[in-house]
Structure 1
Amino acid sequence: CVSALMLIVFQALLGMWTVTWLLKPIVVMGHLIGGLSSFALLAWLALRSHGWQAQADETLPGRGLVISGLCLLALQIALGGWTSANYAAWACGTDFPSCLGQWWPTTDFREGFVLWRGIGVDYEGGVLDGPARVAIQLAHRLLAVLVSAQLLVIAIKAMRLPVLRRYGLTLLAALLAQLTLGIANVKLGLPLTVAALHNAGAALLLLCLLALLARISPIRRIESPAR
């Protein structure tokens, strides 16, 4: 597939720029998004090629809901990459659900979400001050609540249909595991194993939604014109 090849080539370029541009956050975040996009594209092609689709006599609801869930999840994954790239994952210390002993500490959202700061800055260890990193961390937490609510609705609706029950149960289990890993990341001080599992959890949620979307989406067949 040409699109998959182009994505992989661009991903390789992002890997090079991650080093040559001294861990620039926008590139590091893009590298993460590129990797998961490659995974999602290959997973979608595999699902569709193995017959994961609605049957001709099936009318399965919820396609728009699942697509919106995918969009929210993609945004949260990008924000997670931005959090990691700016060394903001531990901006609140080990406090959860509070942050630095407060429910809403001093934040600087404008500084925290400057995407481009020029070439030549060494970003190892981060360049943002405390309030900017706190802003990123709080944004990641707040969006996690919204994403979780959306995925919970999708899981419940899927479980109500016998043909989709296993998809809903799997999505619910993956969501609970991901939330647990996210909280553990903070409370345990970002151990490498938990952080890696948190990344894997994001990929698993992505796969669950793609599998559900593939199952409820019929394949459009293009009829050849009559001769």
Structure 2
Amino acid sequence: MDAQALYDYSPVLRLMGLGLVIALGPLAWVWLRRRDASPAQRLAWLTGLTLFLTFDLVLFGAFTRLTDSGLGCPDWPGCYGSASPIGASASIAAAQEAMPTGPVTFSKAWIEMIHRYLATAVGVLILVLASVSWFERRRLQQSLFWPLVTLFWVCLQGAFGALTVTMKLFPAIVTLHLLGGMALLALLRLQAVRYQQLLEPPSAHQRPGAGTRWALWAMFGLLWVQIALGGWVSTNYAVLACRDFPTCQGSWWPVMDFAGGFEWWRELGQRRSGDAIPFPALTAIHYTHRLVAYGVLLALAALAWHLHRREGRADQARTLLLLGGWQLLTGLSNVVLEWPLVAAVAHTGGAAALVVVLTGWLTQAHPRGVETAPPPTAHGYPA
């Protein structure tokens, strides 16, 4: 039996058609619900809906990774050259018969392809957003910079999705793919807030103090470091390197190989030399993520206290504490319950929610152009 080519573009038009069909649902919903609204209002709604679907896509991506379905279809963009597992049933059956516990099964193939369908639909929605922003740029007096960056970024995400498959779950690529999904959430959230600011009077925008803005940026940066470490834990399957808490392997400082654990460019399960990655290296990956998590939780608590006591933003403080508690609970569940699927997906969801929340607050804290923008009229257009 001939080996399947890693890239087979024969089903690409059918996949694009499926993505368009899926995207037509949200587009029709926004059009019907907001057909009498201004372009700015429709863009705000469509951006918010695309953000929601992208959040779902990030969670489904985590589900795909955690169910070992990333290679459910070993080629890209289709499945054995077909647009769905139905057309590839013979090839999938043969692969499953040859290796019953291998990466290719019917359920894994469907999970992988559904992820690709959703990703294509999100790409279509972002293309629509960029196109509408271009057509309405003069009327809305909005820059095209962020819509075009988002369009470029979703294309880049597609490329990383392809590399995830063709490079056989290469840890660095999979981690970058996760970070790219989080960055896509941030880009969409930024635009959603900008459109909302366009529809509100300038007096509605109250900037926090300089100290608070610096604190938000510091928290934002620390969060990205922790997400990268979490992605590295997941893609190297290092979650169960420590199965107890608060110690690891019964020790406060277990045997660890940091050099082996943080070799960035290497195959899954191997060191750069080609040797199998040792268990102390997996321990170093896990424990580093855990130690940084302590710092993140303390930083979240400190920022929540600052927002409540210094800025009078009690709702924002409660949101931070709630998300921090969620991450603590789901993170602990991954360890002591030995990585249950629900807890693992929920942990990714908590990180994604923190990205969305902090991006929104930072955008509101830096309302560039809002103070001098013309106020909207009754129809939502700038006067």
Q: Name the counterpart of 2:172.
A: 26
Q: Name the counterpart of 2:259.
A: 110
Q: Name the counterpart of 1:39.
A: 185
Where do 5+ consecutive residues of structure 2 fail to align?
Answer: 1-146, 374-383
Please, what TM-score do these two structures have when normalized by structure 1?
0.88
Q: Name the counterpart of 2:217.
A: 67
Secondary structure, counterpart of 1:90 in structure 2? helix
Which of 211, 233, 238 lines up with 1:88 in the alignment?
238
CA contact (8 A) 2:220 2:358 kept: yes
Deviation of 1:162 after TM superposition, in Å, equals 6.4
CA 1:109 to 1:51, structure 2 compared with 1: closer, same or farther past 3 Å?
same
Matched, 1:16 2:162: yes
Deviation of 1:163 after TM superposition, in Å, equals 5.3
Aligned 1:162-201 pairs, distance under 5 A: 164-201=313-350
CA contact (8 A) 2:197 2:370 kept: no
Which amino acid in the other structure matches residue 60 of structure 1?
Answer: P
Secondary structure, counterpart of 1:102 in structure 2? coil
CA contact (8 A) 2:175 2:235 kept: yes
CA contact (8 A) 2:256 2:283 kept: yes
Deviation of 1:212 after TM superposition, in Å, equals 2.3
CA 1:161 to 1:55, structure 2 compared with 1: closer, same or farther past 3 Å?
farther
Could you give the per-residue CA deviations for residues 28-48 of structure 1, whole angstroms, max 9, x where no partner exists? 100100111101110111022
CA 1:222 to 1:172, structure 2 compared with 1: closer, same or farther past 3 Å?
closer
**C-alpha separation in 2, matches of 1:151 and 1:30:** 24
Where do 5+ consecutive residues of structure 1 fail to align?
Answer: none
Please, what TM-score do these two structures have when normalized by structure 2?
0.54
Which amino acid in the other structure matches residue 4 of structure 1?
Answer: T
Secondary structure, counterpart of 1:50 in structure 2? helix
**C-alpha separation in 2, matches of 1:164 and 1:154:** 11
Larger radius of gyration: 2
Could you give the per-residue CA deviations for residues 8-61 of structure 1, whole angstroms, max 9, x where no partner exists? 111111111111111110001001001111011101110221129984884522
CA 1:5 to 1:137, structure 2 compared with 1: closer, same or farther past 3 Å?
same
CA contact (8 A) 1:90 1:186 kept: yes
Aligned residues: 219
Matched, 1:2 2:148: yes
Deviation of 1:116 after TM superposition, in Å, equals 0.9
Deviation of 1:218 after TM superposition, in Å, equals 2.9
CA contact (8 A) 2:327 2:347 kept: yes
Which of 196, 200, 218 lines up with 1:50 in the alignment?
196
Which of 79, 84, 108 lines up with 2:229 in the alignment?
79
Q: Name the counterpart of 1:202.
A: 351
Deviation of 1:200 after TM superposition, in Å, equals 0.2
Deviation of 1:217 after TM superposition, in Å, equals 2.6
CA contact (8 A) 1:159 1:168 kept: yes
Percent sequence identity is 37
Which of 274, 299, 303 lines up with 1:150 in the alignment?
299
Deviation of 1:160 after TM superposition, in Å, equals 2.2
Deviation of 1:158 after TM superposition, in Å, equals 1.1
CA contact (8 A) 1:86 1:128 kept: no
